[in-house]
A and B are shown apart, each in its own frame.
Chain A
Amino acid sequence: MRARIAKCLTVAAVAASLAACSSVDLDDKAGGQGGVGQGGSSVSTGEILDPFNPQSVLAQQRSVYFEFDSYTIPEQYRSLVETHARYLASHGQQRVVIEGNTDARGGAEYNLALGQRRADAVRRMMTLLGVSDSQIETISFGKEKLRAKGNTEADHAENRRADIVYQR
């Protein structure tokens, strides 16, 4: 499995801007590996494990969304965090910053602390899965860098988020 990924990464690096690596996706299915693309209903190339390849699941799915006033990683995001954690555990030199965010309501400094708590929840799950603490920095933007600028519940939900950002 890892050898195939490595081969894929080489291809991806050469042809990053093309829709590369679909062959690896097929290989994985042929090899009976589970994954995002399993089931044939998708042409996803999510099996590419390269955080710097825009086609990779590691680049495409790097946000964990939280419920209101909650710092618990929701069940549906646990596999996402696990995918990143597995990659980081096997790439000990790779560093990430986990950026916590809150919705727009409340004070700037308290929201900064709340965003930090969300980032920290992701960090703790990753370290439990074998990622070294030294690979991770958790920071918070609080309510200062809102992705959704509006004031609807959907906007608030979009902003209650921790993003996993790989460092080059």
Chain B
Amino acid sequence: MTPDHSFLQAIRVQALQRLAVAVLVLAAGALLAVAPARAQLRVDISGTGAQQFPIAVADFSDDPNGRGIAEVIRADLTRTGQFRLISTGGANLTVDSTINHDEWRARGADTLAYGTVTRGGDGRYEIRYRLADTVQRGQLDDVAFAGSEAELRRIAHQIADRIYEKITGIRGVFSTRIAYVLQRGNTYELQVADSDGQNAQVALRSREPIISPAWSPDGSKLAYVSFESGKPVVYVHTLATSHRVPVANYKGNNSAPAWSPDGSRLAVVLTRDGLSQIYSVNAADGSNLQRLTRSPLIDTEPFYSPDGSTIYFTSDRSGSPQIYRMPAGGGDATRVTYNGSYNISPRISPDGSTLLYVSRRDGAFRIVAMNLATGSENVLTDGPDDQSPSFAPNGMQVLYAAVQGGRSVLAGVSSDGRVRQTLSVLNGEVREPTWGPFSR
């Protein structure tokens, strides 16, 4: 119970960014064959979407890093299930190559991404990329980036974001980040990784549990619950500086932080007045405590609607846990879920149209998406114990924790449920994943 403060440390792991480690593993059986030194997450696609955009991504020319950049882009696009990769047949293209649109069209590629990586005398890289439309015989994009070797992965994700948006019309999420808790024995690590699970950094390491990480709307901070003092206390942690502030540390439990969309307030769940109830505090310092619910039973897991007007939450006031909503400042609550006897962990899509929650169905916990306008439900997952869902900031993907082979792993599913993937950690239990916002 005594916290070991010397062991509690905020650590920023030096980025280990060999581009070649971005390997898309298409067969689950191959997962163990590629065992890197660090725990790394792998992608396993087990289904495909109905419509796929055929695209060719040529290796970027000149520098050896060009192949790695293309591989990151291909992996990003493949992971969505929305793209079908066309072989480039070893084509050697530079950013200045003349593109034979008809030839690429004949190969089946409606679009072709290609580019050049050059390393300057100062060790910095220039990355130029273009996106050709073989159907319209035109050019969709033409951009140049500059960066260090350590920044090449991030630039590859940014190029993938541009390709995704040019072709689908939807903003890409490949350069966003995710957070999750990795438990190994009695060690808990709050980790922040790229959206593909690579480049993981440890934000906090503790011998006591950490749960419920929540990104600030600007992506600069994580709120979470740490048991390091012997009981649950809510902290706000600035990632760039590792500076952390306890913002809710009252008698009893302090948990379930949720940011208001403007980042100024944090809804929290406290037991200072009895059973779990929802309050809000100033996110900066925990001041200005306000109580938002007054029920004789459990109210927990607040989540703000994107417009900030409404808080969705879990309550067992009906006798079983169900999702409710109420005005963000408190007030009368309306029940939202009715199907089944255990519906928890509400999350709202960025456009406000869809409610994600965890539902117990036939003894298994599944991620369910509900259309809030019609009330229709779509069960997105089929695992025995799927928990902690969160939307990608473009609403197209859902990240969650799944139990596979007795171990908790990171998993993803398209928000229509058609494409599922496993992002697996090789060593440890991955819990409480949450997808961060668009970077600004």
Contact (Cβ within 8 A) B345 A107: yes
Complex interface residues of chain A between 106 and 142 (CB less than 8 A to chain B): 106-110, 112-114, 116-117, 120, 137-142
Contact (Cβ within 8 A) A110 B232: no
Check B174 for interface membership: any CB of A closer than 8 A: no
Contact (Cβ within 8 A) B211 A108: yes
| Residue among B269, B344, B431 with the highest chain A CB neighbour number at 10 A | B344
Check B253 for interface membership: any CB of A closer than 8 A: yes
Check B227 for interface membership: any CB of A closer than 8 A: yes
Check A144 for interface membership: any CB of B closer than 8 A: yes
Chain B residue at smallest Cβ distance from A117: B275
Contacting residues, chain A, for B345 (C-beta < 8 A): 107, 109-110
Complex interface residues of chain A between 73 and 111 (CB less than 8 A to chain B): 97, 105-110
Among B1, B251, B275, B385, contact of A113 (Cβ-Cβ < 8 Å): B275
Contacting residues, chain A, for B344 (C-beta < 8 A): 106-107, 109-110
Contact (Cβ within 8 A) B252 A144: no
Chain A residue at smallest Cβ distance from B297: A117
With both chains docked as a complex, state the minimum distance between the C-beta of A97 and any C-beta of chain B, in angstroms: 8
Check B111 for interface membership: any CB of A closer than 8 A: no
Q: A109-B269, A139-B232 are in contact. Are A114 and B298 (CB under 8 A)?
A: yes
Q: In the complex, A137→B344 CA distance in Å?
A: 27
Check A4 for interface membership: any CB of B closer than 8 A: no
Q: In the complex, A120→B232 CA distance in Å?
A: 16
Interface residues on A, range: 20 to 34
Check B348 for interface membership: any CB of A closer than 8 A: no
Contacting residues, chain B, for A114 (C-beta < 8 A): 298
Contact (Cβ within 8 A) A107 B358: yes
Contacting residues, chain A, for B271 (C-beta < 8 A): 116, 120, 138-140
Check A145 for interface membership: any CB of B closer than 8 A: yes
Contact (Cβ within 8 A) A108 B276: no
Contact (Cβ within 8 A) A107 B253: no
Interface residues of B, count at CB 8 A: 33
Contacting residues, chain B, for A139 (C-beta < 8 A): 231-232, 252-253, 271
Q: In the complex, A114→B212 CA distance in Å?
A: 16
Contact (Cβ within 8 A) A106 B253: no
Contact (Cβ within 8 A) B276 A106: no
Contact (Cβ within 8 A) B358 A116: no
Chain B residue at smallest Cβ distance from A137: B251
With both chains docked as a complex, state the minimum distance between the C-beta of B310 and any C-beta of chain A, in angstroms: 19
Q: A139-B252, A140-B253 are in contact. Are A110 and B300 (CB under 8 A)?
A: yes
Q: In the complex, A144→B232 CA distance in Å?
A: 10
With both chains docked as a complex, state the minimum distance between the C-beta of A28 and any C-beta of chain B, in angstroms: 33
With both chains docked as a complex, state the minimum distance between the C-beta of A23 and any C-beta of chain B, in angstroms: 33
Contact (Cβ within 8 A) A109 B252: no
Among A97, A106, A120, A144, contact of B342 (Cβ-Cβ < 8 Å): A106
With both chains docked as a complex, state the minimum distance between the C-beta of B303 and any C-beta of chain A, in angstroms: 11
Among B274, B321, B360, B432, contact of A108 (Cβ-Cβ < 8 Å): B432
Contacting residues, chain A, for B251 (C-beta < 8 A): 137
Q: In the complex, A3→B17 CA distance in Å?
A: 71
Chain A residue at smallest Cβ distance from B188: A144
Q: In the complex, A116→B250 CA distance in Å?
A: 14
Contacting residues, chain B, for A141 (C-beta < 8 A): 209, 227
Among B209, B253, B387, contact of A145 (Cβ-Cβ < 8 Å): B209
Check B388 for interface membership: any CB of A closer than 8 A: yes
B interface residues (Cβ-Cβ under 8 A, vs A): 1, 209, 211-212, 227, 231-232, 251-253, 255-256, 269, 271, 274-276, 298, 300-301, 314, 321, 342, 344-345, 358, 360, 365, 385, 387-388, 431-432
Complex A-B: 8 CB contacts under 8 Å: A107-B358, A107-B388, A108-B211, A109-B344, A112-B255, A112-B276, A116-B298, A165-B1
Query: Which 7 residue pairs across A and B have the least CB separation, nearest first?
Result: A144-B209, A113-B276, A139-B231, A113-B298, A107-B344, A113-B300, A110-B344
